[in-house]
């Protein structure tokens, strides 16, 4: 994001400086909420998300995790996008442990109490991408993992428990070696969900195969196997 000017209060020696940044008329969330998202089309969404990924790549190159990737923090000017709000930014090294990220975009390693680093931004980016394609196809329903439990709109622990259970089943975490270290946090296996996978969910929502292909390669539960921002850009998955 371009810095246009810095404003200083000459009357106060120790006052904070004000920054004048380039103006963006809306956020990606606002475009989704006001129905404009569909006018971008799938190609427009891919272009927007490519811009965001370039911002993530720059942060990661500096050893910084954004940690708050969500549609509300993506600024739009037409189909050009910039990633904003570094209020939650965190050093990538050493790896951290503990709660972070907005709930719908929270990576499985955080949900299951494991160490995390910059790979969480890639998961968050992938979930925003998924939500935007879904909003184009089905603007009438909640984004995946985005709906608070009916039992309570304020009980965040209950919300996290449900998302943890959903991701555990949808991504088959019990079959992934990396998650064998946190069996004490596994939810009870639901036999009725044996046939449900993230691919089957996206196919049911009628996602284009191109986007299913990309999301299967980005939303990788094992953070060590998750691609970097540079790898996603270099692979050309957003240009197909």
pTM: 0.89
> What token pair was written down for 207?
């996602």
> What token pair was written down for 199?
């691919």
**In this structure, what are the phi and psi dihedrals at residue 109, rounded to the nearest 5 degrees?**
-65, -35
For 83-91, which contacts have Cβ atoms below 8 Å and span 24 or more sequence positions? 83/52, 83/55, 83/56, 83/59, 84/1, 89/59, 89/64, 89/65, 90/64, 90/65, 91/63, 91/64, 91/65
Neighbour order of strands in the sheet with 80-83: 26-27, 74-77, 80-83
Q: Which domain holds residue 69?
A: 25-235
Q: How far apart are CA 63 and CA 107, in angstroms?
A: 19
Residue 124 lies in a domain: yes
C-beta separation of 90 from 96 below 8 A: yes
Q: Which helix (H) or strand (E) holds 211?
A: helix 209-218
Condensed to tens digits (0 to 9), the pLDDT of residues 44-53 reads 999 999 999 9
Residue 134 lies in a domain: yes
234 burial (CB, 10 Å; 0-12 / 13-18 / 19+) is exposed
Condensed to tens digits (0 to 9), the pLDDT of residues 65-93 reads 999 999 999 999 988 999 999 999 999 99
In this predicted structure, the answer to whether residue 206 has a pLDDT above a threshold of 90 is yes
In this predicted structure, the answer to whether residue 176 has a pLDDT above a threshold of 70 is yes
**Residue 216 sits in a domain of what CATH number?**
1.10.510.10
CA 207 to chain centre: 18
Residue 120 lies in a domain: yes
Q: How far apart are CA 237 and CA 240, in angstroms?
A: 6
Domain count, the chain: 1
Residue of 94, 134, 136 lying closest to 116 (CA atoms): 94
Residue 56 lies in a domain: yes
Q: How far apart are CA 142 and CA 161, in angstroms?
A: 18
**In this structure, what are the phi and psi dihedrals at residue 51, rounded to the nearest 5 degrees?**
-60, -45
Residue 54 lies in a domain: yes
CB-side neighbour CA atoms (13 Å) of 85: 11
In this predicted structure, the answer to whether residue 159 has a pLDDT above a threshold of 70 is yes
Residue 223 lies in a domain: yes
pLDDT value for 195 = 92
Residue 104 lies in a domain: yes
Residue 9 lies in a domain: no
Condensed to tens digits (0 to 9), the pLDDT of residues 102-138 reads 999 999 999 999 999 999 999 999 999 999 999 999 9
Residue of 229, 199, 236 lying closest to 123 (CA atoms): 229
Above pLDDT 90, what percent of the chain?
79
223 burial (CB, 10 Å; 0-12 / 13-18 / 19+) is buried
In this predicted structure, the answer to whether residue 148 has a pLDDT above a threshold of 70 is no
């Amino acid at each position: 994001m371009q810095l246009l000017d810095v404003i200083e209060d000459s009357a106060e020696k120790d006052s904070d400086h004000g920054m004048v940044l380039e103006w963006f008329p809306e956020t990606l969330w606002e475009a989704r909420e006001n129905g404009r998202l569909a006018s971008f089309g799938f190609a427009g969404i891919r272009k927007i998300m490519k811009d965001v990924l370039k911002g993530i790549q720059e942060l990661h190159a500096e050893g910084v995790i954004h940690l708050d990737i969500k549609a509300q923090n993506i600024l739009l000017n037409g189909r050009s996008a910039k990633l904003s709000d570094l209020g939650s930014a965190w050093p990538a090294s050493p790896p951290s442990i503990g709660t972070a990220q907005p709930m719908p975009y929270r990576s499985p390693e955080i949900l299951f109490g494991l160490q995390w680093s910059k790979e969480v931004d890639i998961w968050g980016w992938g979930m925003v991408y998924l939500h935007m394609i879904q909003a184009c196809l089905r603007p009438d329903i909640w984004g995946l993992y985005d709906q608070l439990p009916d039992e309570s709109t304020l009980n965040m622990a209950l919300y996290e428990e449900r998302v943890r259970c959903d991701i555990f089943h949808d991504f088959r975490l019990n079959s992934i070696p990396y998650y064998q270290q946190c069996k004490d946090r596994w939810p009870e296996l639901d036999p009725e969900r044996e046939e449900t996978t993230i691919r089957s969910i996206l196919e049911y929502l009628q996602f284009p195969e191109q986007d299913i292909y990309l999301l299967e390669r980005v939303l990788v539960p094992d953070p060590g196997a998750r691609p970097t921002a540079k790898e996603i850009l270099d692979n050309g998955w957003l240009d197909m």
